[in-house]
Amino acid sequence: MPTRRPDNVRRGSLAEKLRERTVKAKVTDPEEQKKIFDRIGLDLPPGANTVRRRTRY
């Protein structure tokens, strides 16, 4: 099972600041989400996913 640290975020800490900045999904309807994922995507030839010149994931 995935592990998770205990929820012990201090007030005013960086972790608290980061949590406040979470952006909630604007599209929460599952059907609308499905439409987004069906729509997006790029048709580049295979072999595109290479970030660094010598590194292929």
Partner 1 sequence: MPARYDRRRATVVAFDGLRWESPEAVVINTSVVAEALLRREPEHAACDELLRRLAHERTRVVFNRLLEAELWEVVFNHALRTHTGQPDVRHSRFRQDARRAAAAKLDEAICAWNEMLAALDWQCVELDEVADAVPDLMCAYGLQSYDAVHAATLLRSGVTDMVSRDAGFAVLLPEDATLHTTRRRLSRTRARRRDACAG
Residues that bind partner 1 in the complex, under the rule CB under 8 A: 1-5, 9, 14-15, 18-19, 21-28, 30, 32-34, 36-37, 39-52, 57
Give the nearer residue to partner 1 in terms of CB position, either 11 or 37.
37
How far is Cα 43 from Cα 40, in angstroms, rounded to an integer? Answer: 10
- Complex with partner 1: residue 12 or 22, whichever CB lies closer: 22
**Tokens of residue 45, six digits:** 């030839």
User: Is the backbone of residue 16 left (phi > 0), alpha (psi -120 to 50) or beta?
Assistant: alpha
12 or 47, CB closer to partner 1?
A: 47
